């Protein structure tokens, strides 16, 4: 058996193993109804619904690449883009129908995490693979700018066109694709992840309230690392953007250089604005997400990166310790990182801010809910904080403007076992409290 056939056999076996975990109860119409997947209701003829294994068989028979979209149906973020891809864009529908085997994956229970490695904090993501398991590309990028700031129909179409080029040249181009699958995972099922709390419940029937969201995989990784004592803040800098090395990429293109920032590793590299990035560390680049995948697997330390321009060739970029640090406040999995206060305090309305005379550049977070059944929530209540209070300062400094930014500041600067000094406004009076961080 040659290497290619052996890889195909291994991939088929792994998919059969993973898909047998809980797919029996998930026949297409029943699952669609249970999770109320409105975006797929009228286009089931286009998408293979939540069944990667059968899509693989079809792709092998038709010699087509597989186009898998991952969508967390209950999540609001990326709902607009998901609707466009699933049923709104005739451009994508026609192109996908003709050239791909399209799959709509709406839960992560049955997904092989070794095969499908991507940024699980995304609310919409796509991967393109060969029937033998070779990964062609990823698409889907998110940042503090918003859930859909990087995604577009034009950008997705460009990625799909490039995937077809890779597919047509496969397996001759295998050397540039072999690293795109990612390092082998010890645990291949989300249900079996050490930090996946409530796994026994989640293993039951898939519904909107009993599914594994993509971000829950990062949650499980966070918990496992914290419980084993191996967690560091470097874990937070997942999938850094090309801007971290000084490159801004045209978002609707995915690999054309739009700008090079001064004083960054890319500034003196020899790369130039207007050319495209063909490869990073030898991996073929199709999209911004592809660049992020390479950067994600590098250490947050002194390291050399090879970027290949389509016109200027190879360039060595020297990255310095700490280069991966970015703003992860938008990430859903940030909540699972300790310390956790088990309370909800969104920004107050502007009318309230004006009434309390709070400057525009200072945060005003209104305590809307405290989970008094948990250790963290009980500690908040013991401190004297009440629902209806306004949090205005942490350790004497104004809190950030958003809940997410405040949570990030808390997690970066404090640890379980410490206390955090907070200042709240109640009936127009400032009250200083100390919250014990217990979880």
The answer to whether residue 245 scores a pLDDT higher than 60 is: yes
Top CATH class of 3-224 equals: alpha beta
CATH architecture of 242-319: Roll (2.30)
Encoded tokens for 414 = 């404090």
Task: Report the chain's mean pLDDT, rounded to a whole number.
Answer: 93
Q: Give the pLDDT score at 8.
A: 41
Could you tell me which residue, 1 or 129, shows the higher pLDDT?
129
Mean pLDDT value of segment 123-136: 98
* Spatial distance between the Cα atoms of 59 and 54, rounded to a whole number of angstroms: 9
Domain ranges of the chain: 3-224, 242-319, 338-436
Q: Give the pLDDT score at 12.
A: 42
The answer to whether residue 16 scores a pLDDT higher than 90 is: no
pTM of structure = 0.91
CB 79 within 8 A of CB 132: no
How would residue 27 be classed by pLDDT, with cut points 50, 70 and 90?
A: low
CB 261 within 8 A of CB 267: yes
Q: What percent of the chain has pLDDT over 70?
A: 93
Could you tell me which residue, 25 or 166, shows the higher pLDDT?
166
Q: What sign results for the dihedral spanned by CA atoms 32, 33, 35, 36?
A: positive
Q: Do domains 242-319 and 338-436 have the same CATH topology?
A: yes
Q: Give the pLDDT score at 28.
A: 59
User: pLDDT tens-digit profile of 360-378?
Assistant: 999 999 999 999 999 999 9
How would residue 2 be classed by pLDDT, with cut points 50, 70 and 90?
A: very low
Q: Give the pLDDT score at 44.
A: 84
Mean pLDDT value of segment 260-289: 97
Mean pLDDT value of segment 388-402: 97
How would residue 182 be classed by pLDDT, with cut points 50, 70 and 90?
A: very high
| CATH code reported for the domain at 338-436 | 2.30.42.10
Mean pLDDT value of segment 181-209: 95
Mean pLDDT value of segment 307-316: 97
Mean pLDDT value of segment 139-145: 96
* Spatial distance between the Cα atoms of 218 and 181, rounded to a whole number of angstroms: 18
């Amino acid at each position: 058996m040659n290497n290619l056939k052996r890889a195909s056999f291994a991939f088929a076996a792994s998919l059969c193993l993973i898909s047998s975990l809980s797919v029996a109860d998930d026949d297409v119409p029943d699952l669609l109804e249970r999770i109320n997947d409105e975006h797929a209701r009228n286009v089931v003829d286009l998408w293979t619904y939540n069944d990667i294994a059968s899509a693989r068989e079809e792709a092998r028979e038709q010699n087509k690449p597989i186009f898998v979209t991952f969508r967390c149906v209950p999540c609001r973020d990326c709902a607009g883009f998901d609707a466009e891809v699933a049923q709104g864009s005739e451009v994508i529908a026609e192109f996908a129908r003709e050239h791909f085997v399209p799959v709509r994956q709406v839960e992560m229970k049955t997904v092989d995490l070794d095969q499908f490695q991507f940024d699980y904090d995304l609310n919409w993501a796509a991967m393109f693979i060969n029937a033998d398991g070779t990964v062609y590309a990823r698409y889907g990028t998110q940042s503090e700018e918003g859930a859909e700031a990087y995604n577009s129909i034009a950008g997705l179409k460009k990625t799909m066109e490039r995937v077809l080029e890779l597919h047509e040249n496969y397996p001759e181009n295998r050397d540039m694709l072999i690293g795109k699958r990612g390092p082998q995972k010890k645990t291949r099922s989300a249900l079996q992840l050490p930090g996946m709390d409530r796994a026994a419940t989640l293993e039951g029937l898939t519904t909107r309230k009993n599914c594994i969201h993509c971000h829950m995989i990062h949650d499980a990784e966070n918990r496992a690392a914290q419980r084993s004592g191996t967690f560091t803040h470097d874990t937070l800098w997942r999938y850094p953007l090309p801007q971290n090395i000084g490159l801004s990429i045209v978002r609707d293109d995915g690999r054309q250089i739009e700008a090079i920032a001064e004083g960054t590793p890319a500034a003196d590299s020899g790369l130039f604005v207007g050319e495209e990035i063909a490869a990073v560390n030898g991996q073929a680049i199709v999209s911004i997400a592809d660049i992020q995948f390479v950067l994600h697997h590098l250490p947050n330390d002194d390291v050399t990166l090879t970027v290949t321009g389509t016109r200027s060739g190879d360039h060595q970029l020297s990255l310095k310790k700490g280069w991966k640090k970015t703003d992860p406040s938008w990430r859903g999995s940030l909540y699972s990182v300790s310390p956790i206060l088990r309370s909800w305090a969104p920004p107050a309305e502007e009318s309230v801010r004006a009434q309390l005379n709070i400057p525009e550049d200072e945060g005003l977070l209104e305590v809307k809910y405290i989970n008094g059944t948990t250790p963290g929530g009980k500690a908040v209540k013991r401190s004297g904080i009440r629902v209806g209070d306004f949090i205005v300062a942490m350790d004497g400094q104004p809190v950030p403007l958003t809940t997410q930014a405040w949570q990030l500041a808390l997690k970066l600067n404090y640890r379980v076992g410490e206390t955090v000094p907070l200042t709240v406004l109640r009936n127009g009076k400032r009250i200083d409290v100390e919250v014990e961080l217990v979880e």
